[in-house]
Amino acid sequence: MKTTPRICVIGAGPSGMSVLYQFAEMGNMPNVVCYEKQKTWGGIWNFTWRTGLDENNEHCHSSLYKDLWTNAPKEANLEFPDYTFEKHFGKAVPSFMPASAVKDYLEGRWKNGTKIDLSKYIQFNTVVRYVRYDVDKEHYVVVVDNCKENETREEFFSHVIVCAGIFNFPNQPELPGIDKFQGRVLHSHNFRGATEFKGQTVLIIGGSFSAEDIALQSIKFGAKHVILTCRHESHHLRWPEGVEERPFVDKFDGNKVCFLDGSEMLVDVVVFCTGYRTHFPFLESKLRLSEDTAPYPSGLYKGTLLVEHGDCKLFYIGVQNQIYSMTLFDCLASWVCKYILGKLPDEPKSMDEMLKDVRKWEADGQKVTNPIEMLKLHTTLLDDISTSSGYTKDILKAGPRFMEWLQHRTDDMATFRDHSFRSIYTNTLAPTGSPFMQAFDDSLETFKKC
pLDDT at residue 321, as a whole number: 87
pLDDT at residue 2, as a whole number: 62
User: Packing angle between helix 371-389 and helix 398-411, nearest 10 degrees?
Assistant: 160
Q: Which domains does the chain have, with CATH numbers?
A: 6-168+276-404 (3.50.50.60), 172-272 (3.50.50.60)
Query: Do 389 and 335 meet the contact criterion of CB atoms below 8 Å apart?
Result: yes
Taking the whole predicted model, whether its pTM rises above 0.85 is answered as yes
Distances (CA, A) of 209 to 213, 234, 275, 305: 6, 13, 10, 28
Question: What does residue 209 show for φ and ψ, rounded to 5 degrees?
Answer: -60, -35
Rounded-to-integer distance, Cα 410 and Cα 407, Å? 5
With a CB cutoff of 8 Å and minimum separation 6, the contacts of 7 are 30, 31, 32, 33, 157, 158, 159, 160, 161, 340
pLDDT at residue 1, as a whole number: 44
How does pLDDT run along the chain (450 residues), one tens digit per residue? 467 899 999 999 999 999 999 999 998 899 999 999 999 999 999 999 999 999 999 999 999 999 999 999 999 999 999 999 999 999 999 999 999 999 999 999 999 999 999 999 999 999 999 999 999 999 999 999 999 999 999 999 999 999 999 988 999 999 999 999 999 999 999 999 999 999 999 999 998 899 999 999 999 999 999 999 998 867 678 999 999 999 999 999 999 999 999 999 999 999 999 999 999 999 999 999 998 889 999 999 999 999 999 999 999 999 998 889 999 999 999 999 999 999 999 999 999 999 999 999 999 999 999 899 999 999 999 999 999 999 999 999 999 999 999 999 999 999 999 999 999 999 999 999 899 999 999 999 999 988
